[in-house]
Amino acid sequence: MCRMVSAVWLMYNELNHGPGTATRTMPDTDITRRLTTIMAADVVGYSRQMSLDEVDTMRRLRKLRREAIDPVISKHDGRIFKTMGDGLLVEFGSTVNAVECAAEIQMALETRNAGLEDGKEMRLRIGINIGDVIVDGDDIFGHGVNVAARIQGVAEPGGVSLSGVVNDQVVGKVGFRFSEASEPTLKNIDTPVVVYQLDMVSVREAQRKEAEQSGASLSLPEKPSIAVLPFNNMSGDPDQEYFSDGMTEDIITALSRLRWLFVIARNSTFTYKGRAVDIKQVGRELGVRYVLEGSVRKAGSRIRVTAQLIEAETGNHVWAERYDRELADIFDLQDELTEAISAQVDTELAGSERQQAHIKTINDLGAWELYQRGMWHYYKNTKEELAEARRLFDLALERAPEFANAYAALAAVAYANAIRGYAVDPAANLEQGLRHAERAVASDDREWFCHYVLGRISMLTGESDRSIRAMEKCIELNPSSAQSYYALGYALFWFGRAEEAVPYVTRAIRLSPNDPYIWAFYHMRGTVHAHTDEYVSAIDDLKSAVQAKGDEVWPHLVLVLSYISLGKNEEAQRAYNRAVEIKPDLSTTFFWSVSDTLHPPYAEKMLDALRKAGMPEE
């Protein structure tokens, strides 16, 4: 889009002034010239956003101009002399002002974009040049303007390009660094132009130092936000520095896959390396709600890693863990610890967000918080709680009609209602759940949770290939997601591949031992063991499931199968009686209502055991 806008402006310029020149046909005595600084800016990907929703895109651009761009330009004494759809041309009397204005605009947009859904962000490319220009009333023309427009096109999204003459004017006068010089080929610009790129990391550092000196805080993005500080090397061995640094970087990368989470980039957090830090101050300086810190200590052939997740504003620990491992293959160990810590942070952060949303009143909640509050009720798993969860997800969609996670959550409710027998019309319930799941994936096909619910619903509708592909996509998008591994194991079992399922469910348990769904993980592994005739292992896992959550009917039913298969009929009867206490209307009709697409030999094996325990047909 930036090239198109630049080309449109240059065509307009040439139509009025002739090719290759910015001079009007007028007497020389009427021409007014001056040396000035020109800033050219336009929105990245604007055409695509307009093609999807013209009205919404225009509304968001106007809001962005009004709140984050025009006031900053005015603050730095700039004057907008031309607008072109998504593009701006701005004149400054001071080159320093122009560069500082560009940096401030880009940082303001970075903060705003952090709280938006993907596809709704607006990022600018900015180019700055100094040139002798022709003035015609309020308008400006000339080669200096053309160059600014062209070098804007070679800036990175969210970045700022400067001509060499601008760089010469501001070096030592602004607190930023610049890249090495380059000479890109600029369309319709015959003479070589030296171009520098503003180092945006140095802009963030300057912003952080300014906030530190003034005691000011960066505003929190709308998304939950986290900074991962460099893990301290406590070994006294400089050779272990690469291990602690590498693990920190890998954790940042892993958490960045979570699209609901705003993660501070590595270059910003590593400015704290080797410094004693105040977590509350880090939260203020980086504008984050949570901070993850840790340490690595090597002793002989063993290594100990500690990690603490801290709420920055209060300094309260959300979670802390210690990992003791044998130091064998250093890279395998680094991968293992990265995965374990990332998965635990994902689980604990989501739980903390749910808890915070549940405390607030409904009137205080935005779409994200309504979704999190709904998830708080969803995990209660009763008929009444699932109904409340659905109501909250509907409210979230009223506030954000394209909120993919809310659609996915509605599909999750449909799945839960189906598997627990709460749905009045099971077929209609699943059909609606499938529509919500498909809408979720269509809205955001890079969010693992959307594929997760599509896979769960497809499992119940008997679409084996679609279900398993969706679960595999979950793991591809978020390799630290315990629920994805659990769900893939479940799908493999459901479609007759029980012998393949155990490693996936075991991985889920290892990744998230404190997961709110841990009972389901153990139940699933126990179920797989029961259908591969490993009944002792099945009973161990099913007892763990009951201990984690005793009011779920399915672990007790699979215990019936396991005990009967071992000839322990009294234990089987006790398990069945407990299942009836939880769900008094148990019957084979109920079983088939939620298991009609289960691999037939597995279904018959279960039903045979349940009939022996006394399950009625209706």
Query: Domain of 604: which CATH number?
Result: 1.25.40.10
Of 443 and 238, the one with more pLDDT: 443
- Whether 217 maps to a domain, the answer reads no
Q: What is the pLDDT of residue 393?
A: 96
Closest CA to 100 of 68, 123, 67, 78: 78
Inform me whether the pLDDT recorded for 556 exceeds 70: yes
Full 3-state SS string of 576-600: HHHHHHHCCCCCHHHHHHHHCCCCH
- Checking if the pLDDT of 1 tops 70, the result is no
Give CA–CA dist 92/77, Å, rounded: 7
What pLDDT does residue 249 have?
85
As a whole number of angstroms, the distance between CA 479 and CA 154 comes to 35
Give the end of a domain, one of 314, 334, 358. 358
CA distances from 410 to 143, 296, 371, 431, 432 (A): 57, 42, 10, 12, 9
Q: Quick: pLDDT tens for 74-103.
A: 888 899 998 887 889 999 989 999 999 999
Confidence band for 24, pLDDT divided at 50, 70 and 90 = very low
For residues 193 and 485, which has the higher predicted lDDT (pLDDT)? 485
Pair (568, 461) in one structural domain: no
Closest by CA position to 272, among listed 293, 289, 300: 293
Q: Give one DSSP letter per residue of 55-121, joined into a string.
A: HHHHHHHHHHIIIIIHHHHHHTTEEEEEEETTEEEEEES-HHHHHHHHHHHHHHHHHHHHTS-TT--
Residues 524, 585: one domain? yes
Instruction: Write the pLDDT tens digit of every residue in 108-157.
Output: 888 777 656 667 788 899 999 998 888 888 888 888 888 898 888 888 88
Would you state the pLDDT for residue 95? 92
Q: Is the pLDDT of residue 27 over 80?
A: no
Tokens of 533: 């005739």
pTM of the model: 0.60
Q: Are residues 17 and 130 in the same domain?
A: yes
**345 and 401 belong to one structural domain:** no
146 with 22: CB under 8 angstroms? yes
Which pLDDT band holds residue 5 (cuts at 50, 70, 90)?
A: very low
Maximum CA pair distance of the chain?
A: 109
Among 172, 317, 279, 256, CA closest to 480: 256
Q: Are residues 295 and 400 in the same domain?
A: no
d(CA 337, CA 314): 27
The reply to whether 399 and 347 lie within a common domain is no
Structural domain count, the chain:
4
Q: Examine the domain organization and report whether 300 and 421 are in the same domain.
A: no
Q: H-helix or E-strand containing 303? A: strand 302-311
Q: Per-residue pLDDT for 21 more than 50?
A: no
Domain of 437 in residue numbering reads as 360-479
Cα–Cα distance between 252 and 577 in angstroms, integer? 49
In a domain, 290, yes or no: yes
Is pLDDT larger for residue 240 or for residue 10? 240
Question: DSSP per residue over 356-420, as a string?
Answer: HHHHS-GGG--HHHHHHHHHHHHTT-SHHHHHHHHHHHHHHHHH-TT-HHHHHHHHHHHHHHHHT
For 226-259, what is each residue's pLDDT tens digit? 899 999 888 777 767 778 888 888 888 888 778 7
pLDDT above 90 (res 185): no
Judge whether 429 and 442 are in contact, CB under 8 Å: no
Kindly report the CA angle at 58 between 53 and 64, in degrees rounded to 5? 125
Return the bridge partners of 321, or none. 307
Helices 448-460 and 464-477, packing angle to 10 deg: 160
CA dihedral 232, 238, 244, 249 (to 10 degrees): 110
Q: What is the C-alpha separation between 149 and 40, in angstroms, rounded?
A: 5
- Asked whether residue 578 carries a pLDDT value surpassing 60, the answer given is yes
Share the mean pLDDT of the chain.
Answer: 85
